[in-house]
Amino acid sequence: MINTLISIILIMAAAPLIEGIIKTAKARFQNRRGPSVLQPYYDLAKFFGKDSVVSPTVSWVFRLAPYVYFATVFAATGVVATGGEVSQFADMLILIYLLGLGRFFLALASLDAGSAFGGMGGSREMFLAVLVEPALLLALISVAFTANTTALGGMAGAAGGLPFSLPYILAAIAFFIVLIAETGRIPVDNPDTHLELTMIHEGMILEYSGRSLGLIHWASMAKQTVMLMLFVAFFVPWDLPGLSQAGLGGIWFVIKVMLAAGLLALVETSTNKMRIFKLPGLLAVSCLLSLLALVAQ
């Protein structure tokens, strides 16, 4: 119990740092200096200190949504918190549907202010979810079949015992595509854009300001960290010899998460954003890779 809580607090606290690392890495790849690694923390502090502007059109759904979104991501963090007891009692389906609950409320909130941009963002977010959900399930199911359970703890254990082989690489690529889509990064969505017509996630939360926006941003960063952790736990489970014995397994895990974040930055720099109607193809590739991995196992 205490372990889980500590893990959650650590992950929530480290999430802006991961975002900062991605931003810095991206800046370096683009030959820029970029802002400080700690910039996301300053941004959050700024959001929480600001007043907010709320449209008179909105109802309680709009006010509640950031809290629900934050709470579901918080719970998802707890579910994947490695080493925590909860991971023994929650499985990948609950994790996926928890994230779905948060998305459901944000999409509703996007329709609440009565602007066309919000609805557009909400509509695209739900569309993206339609593409991502089967791909995510397929990528995870190949691990779950080996583990013979959908429980995350069991799956992580089984992933560690797998030999490095072709199906493994295929499944890892499949999951990485899902990771990009789920964290809203290029080529699926552009987190830095401020052009209303191209935004997905940012468009959905356009009407938010102040601490509500802070909560949403924080939750999004935590969700990104959760996805990176899943990627590392299931698809990069390998240990450096001697590290675990020396009690440094945790540190090695953190290093791997940071490396995965760097990979995300690399992909973001080296590709450009796709048209939204090209995305079904990309996610279909992910589905097919997962199926191939399953067949080749």
Partner 1 sequence: MNAETLYFNSLLAMCLGALFAVLFRKNDRMANYIAHCMAIVGSISAVLCAIFVFKDGGVSLSLFEWGRVGLVTARLDPLAAFFLLLVGVIGALASLYAIGYCREFYGKRLWLMAAFFNAFLLTMILVFSVSHVVAFLLAWELMTIFSFALVIHKWEDATVRRAGYIYMVMTHVGTAFIVAAFLVLATAVGSLDFEALGHANLTDPMASIVFLLALIGFGTKAGMIPVHVWLPLAHPAAPSHVSALMSGVMIKSAVYGLSRFLLEFLGVGQAWWGELILVLAIVSCVLGVLYALMENDIKKLLAYSSVENVGIIFLGMGAGVVFMAKGLPLPAALAWGAAWLHTLNHAVFKSLLFLGAGAVVQKTHTNDIEKLGGLIKKMPRTAVAFLVGSAAISALPVLNGFVSEWLTFQALFQLQRAFASIFGKVMGAVLIALLGLTGALAAGCFVKAFGITFLGKARSEKAEAAGEVSPIMSMSMLVLAALCVVIGIFPQTILPIINYVLPVYWGAETAVLFDYQSLGLVVNTGVADGVMGVPAVIGLVLLGLATAVLLSRLSGKSHEQVGDTWTCGIDPTPHMQYTATGFSKPIRTAFMSILQPERHKVVSADTNSYYGRRLEYHLSIRYFLHDKLYRPLNSGIIRGAKFIRRLQSGHLQLYIGYVLAVTVVALIWSSR
Residues 114-143 that bind partner 1 (CB under 8 A): 114-120, 122-124, 126-127, 129-138, 141-142
Asked if the bond preceding 237 is cis, omega within 30° of 0, the reply is: no
Segment contacting partner 1 (CB under 8 A): 17-25, 32-40, 146-154, 255-263? 146-154
- By CB under 8 A, residue 280 contacts partner 1: yes
Minimum CB distance to partner 1 smaller for 24 or for 150: 150
Site string for partner 1, 220-259 (x = CB under 8 A): ----------------------------------------
Spatial contact of 221 and 18, defined as CB atoms under 8 Å apart: yes
Distance CA 100, CA 94 (A): 9
- By CB under 8 A, residue 28 contacts partner 1: no
Q: How far is the CB of 190 from partner 1 (least distance, A)?
A: 17
Spatial contact of 132 and 178, defined as CB atoms under 8 Å apart: yes
- By CB under 8 A, residue 24 contacts partner 1: no
Q: Which residues of 251-267 are buried (b: 16+ CB within 10 A; e: fewer)?
A: ebbbebbbebbbbbbeb
Which residue, 290, 226, 239, is CA-closest to 10? 226
Side-chain-side CA neighbours of residue 102 (13 Å): 26
Q: How far is the CB of 59 from partner 1 (least distance, A)?
A: 5
Site string for partner 1, 208-227 (x = CB under 8 A): --xxx-xx------------
φ and ψ of 151, to 5 deg: -70, 135
Distance CA 125, CA 215 (A): 18
Segment contacting partner 1 (CB under 8 A): 85-93, 159-167, 223-231, 233-241? 85-93
Grouping H, G, I as helix, E, B as strand and the rest as coil, residue 97 is: helix
Minimum CB distance to partner 1 smaller for 201 or for 256: 201
Q: How far is the CB of 136 from partner 1 (least distance, A)?
A: 7
Residue from 199, 206, 260, 265 binding partner 1 (CB under 8 A)? 206
H/E stretch holding 170 = helix 166-182
Distance CA 95, CA 75 (A): 9
Segment contacting partner 1 (CB under 8 A): 55-63, 165-173, 232-240, 256-264? 55-63
Q: How far is the CB of 139 from partner 1 (least distance, A)?
A: 10
Minimum CB distance to partner 1 smaller for 83 or for 100: 100
Minimum CB distance to partner 1 smaller for 25 or for 174: 174
C-beta atoms surrounding 163 within 10 Å: 6
Residue from 89, 192, 244, 246 binding partner 1 (CB under 8 A)? 89
**For residue 48, which amino acid is it?**
F
Query: For the CA atoms of 60, 118, 12, 173, what is the dihedral angle to 10 degrees?
Result: 140
Spatial contact of 280 and 131, defined as CB atoms under 8 Å apart: yes
- By CB under 8 A, residue 167 contacts partner 1: no
- By CB under 8 A, residue 203 contacts partner 1: no
Minimum CB distance to partner 1 smaller for 153 or for 261: 153
